[in-house]
Chains A and B, each alone.
Chain A
């Protein structure tokens, strides 16, 4: 990623332009403003997944659960603890949403991540999401059952506050991923992603870093849930515990290039445009188009837009560009002693001897 002053300035200018959009008269009544708001929500979510899967290499299918936990936390805090006039974008409520989601992530992350890897971790997180859904539906008056919780309507008559908060969160999430990617933490996460055994051998506490990434990712997903709850001012299992809140961000990350700082941003802009266009003009066909889009992207650019570009300009090995190998079976890194010491690719849990106490 280029990090020189000019590209930073261009980015800052882009953010400023986005921030000025609500100042244009009439702009907020246009569908475009809503589109941008959705993009911001998706950027936060996509970056949350990017951190867990793109950097730490742990495919989480539970981001919708953290999104839902964030939304529900916001609704519960807002309806129980705060007065109706002041709760909108209350920093306390939003932080609480993130923190509660992160606590949940840490609590399930320790057992799941210490025992499961690869597909098995993905399945486990999927199971966690389903448990959260059932708990929310059966939560009685505390979670409002299958109806959910209604918050009092927003005191604002424009989208502007939502828009700005969304933009701020999207920038914050992207900045956080950037900071992580430049830090020792990011280095450790990428080492864990590339080869957990080697990372452990180099003194990286694999489990701690995996859980940390999972919790930070959940924190952002929870905040995104909080923002969205403030937008729809009602939370329900159907709206918030929807697997789309996991799948769309994954699609955006993979399309833009997961494991890069700006890939998810590009992916969020593009995919939200596709989904919005489909919603506007082909409402009935929307999910059909989304499905076709997912398949097409995966078939023709499985490495993502940013990755393709990076690869073409640099051809640097290890820079995210993975040459298509014939089949996964031969993906064992050169120098590994063969199947006997290493679980076969994709076994129920990729055995990671370095991790065992």
Chain B
């Protein structure tokens, strides 16, 4: 077994894992923002990602619009959609102590989106094939796909932007304050509904970004989203809550774990991902990348 472990192979597994993990990371950051402020698991995140992927697909198939152009165009739209989802569906539930309500609303939304997409566009897998999809460039003798690299760069940029937003803007600081302590932040005059809405808007915008990059890299089908939500959750748990950089790092780590384990024990990649997830939840619930002491 070990003699086939050439540096080149390890390199390829690493690069592949990192590039795919970047998309888990972007989805995880969205989940992290929503979980941070509202304490709910927004399971429909994956379905939103796939929906954005379909937007990119149809824009390309019907109008010939490049998926990365669609991604930019989708940004304001998805911000509005995210805010609308909060106002229409979660505003009431956010004020209820019982978190089952919000969880189930997210599940209902996921069901609806999945089947709407399936009815409207058939369950066939779709992928965007542009002129540059098949091209790749060499890094030290390894071919690296250009679309995956773009996805990676987009993920890094998105992470940087969200970090800047959280650290530099007033509303971003409010989001962090609410994640830290809802009661105290209400006492200093932060409106929880406004913060929740912003978190949702940014979370869905990230889903839009992830969707467009995903559709230009991999084939999507309407039911792919749930799996993606689960993966994003794992990435979130690995990286630690309320930690944007950690969520991205968690996604990258998950990508590497999956690419490695699916090479050595084909078919078990998913199970190993979940196993790591369970172990991290149990033994490092604050995430793998947190150096600071416990908050409370």
Question: A119 in the interface, Cβ–Cβ < 8 Å?
Answer: yes
Closest beta carbon of chain B to A58's beta carbon, Å? 12
Residue of A nearest to B286 (CB): A348
Partner of A284, one of B98, B100, B119, B183: B119
Bound form: Cα–Cα A329–B187 in Å: 11
Report chain B residues within 8 Å CB of A293. 108
Contact call B112/A287, Cβ cutoff below 8 A:
yes
Contact call A134/B268, Cβ cutoff below 8 A:
yes
Contact call B226/A243, Cβ cutoff below 8 A:
yes
Residue of B nearest to A114 (CB): B282
Report chain A residues within 8 Å CB of B267. 134, 137-138
Report chain B residues within 8 Å CB of A303. 98
- Mark out the residues of chain A between 120 and 156 whose CB falls within 8 Å of any chain B CB in the assembled complex: 120, 122-124, 126-128, 130-131, 134-135, 137-138
Contact call A302/B101, Cβ cutoff below 8 A:
yes
Contact call A295/B271, Cβ cutoff below 8 A:
no
- Mark out the residues of chain B between 80 and 132 whose CB falls within 8 Å of any chain A CB in the assembled complex: 89, 92-105, 107-116, 119
Question: A315 in the interface, Cβ–Cβ < 8 Å?
Answer: no
Contact call B104/A339, Cβ cutoff below 8 A:
no
Contact call A134/B270, Cβ cutoff below 8 A:
yes
Question: A299 in the interface, Cβ–Cβ < 8 Å?
Answer: yes
Residue of B nearest to A294 (CB): B108
Question: B192 in the interface, Cβ–Cβ < 8 Å?
Answer: yes
Report chain A residues within 8 Å CB of B226. 243
Question: A322 in the interface, Cβ–Cβ < 8 Å?
Answer: yes
Closest beta carbon of chain B to A27's beta carbon, Å? 32
Bound form: Cα–Cα A290–B92 in Å: 20
Binds A, one of B68-76, B147-155, B168-176, B273-281: B273-281
Binds B, one of A18-26, A36-44, A77-85, A247-255: A247-255
Report chain B residues within 8 Å CB of A327. 94-95, 182, 186, 192
Contact call A298/B282, Cβ cutoff below 8 A:
no
Question: A331 in the interface, Cβ–Cβ < 8 Å?
Answer: yes
Residue of B nearest to A325 (CB): B97
Partner of A294, one of B97, B107, B281, B286: B107
Contact with A along B156-200 (1 / 0, CB 8 A): 000000000000000000000000011111100000100000000
- Place the interface of chain A in its size category: 35 or more
Closest beta carbon of chain B to A77's beta carbon, Å? 24
Bound form: Cα–Cα A111–B275 in Å: 13
Question: B241 in the interface, Cβ–Cβ < 8 Å?
Answer: yes
Bound form: Cα–Cα A258–B104 in Å: 14
Report chain B residues within 8 Å CB of A116. 281-282, 285
Contact with A along B275-296 (1 / 0, CB 8 A): 1011001110110000000011
Residue of A nearest to B240 (CB): A348
Contact call B271/A130, Cβ cutoff below 8 A:
yes
Residue of B nearest to A330 (CB): B183
Q: Given known contacts A123-B233, A327-B186, A345-B182, is B268 in contact with A138 (CB within 8 Å)?
A: yes
Contact call A322/B97, Cβ cutoff below 8 A:
yes
Question: A312 in the interface, Cβ–Cβ < 8 Å?
Answer: no
Report chain B residues within 8 Å CB of A349. 285
Bound form: Cα–Cα A137–B267 in Å: 9
Contact with A along B227-245 (1 / 0, CB 8 A): 0001001100100010000
Bound form: Cα–Cα A127–B295 in Å: 26
Bound form: Cα–Cα A120–B41 in Å: 10
Bound form: Cα–Cα A8–B85 in Å: 45
Residue of B nearest to A246 (CB): B107
Closest beta carbon of chain A to B39's beta carbon, Å? 4
Partner of B278, one of A128, A247, A254, A343: A128
Report chain B residues within 8 Å CB of A135. 271
Question: A277 in the interface, Cβ–Cβ < 8 Å?
Answer: no
- Mark out the residues of chain A between 26 and 75 whose CB falls within 8 Å of any chain B CB in the assembled complex: 53, 59
Report chain B residues within 8 Å CB of A118. 99
Instruction: Spell out A's residues near B (CB within 8 Å).
Output: 53, 59, 111-112, 115-116, 118-120, 122-124, 126-128, 130-131, 134-135, 137-138, 243, 247, 250-251, 254, 258, 284-288, 290-295, 298-299, 302-303, 322, 324-332, 339-340, 342-349, 351
- Can you list 7 residue pairs at the A/B interface with Cβ under 8 Å? A112-B282, A138-B271, A291-B109, A328-B99, A339-B184, A348-B285, A351-B296
Instruction: Spell out B's residues near A (CB within 8 Å).
Output: 39-41, 89, 92-105, 107-116, 119, 181-186, 192, 226, 230, 233-234, 237, 241, 267-268, 270-271, 274-275, 277-278, 281-283, 285-286, 295-296
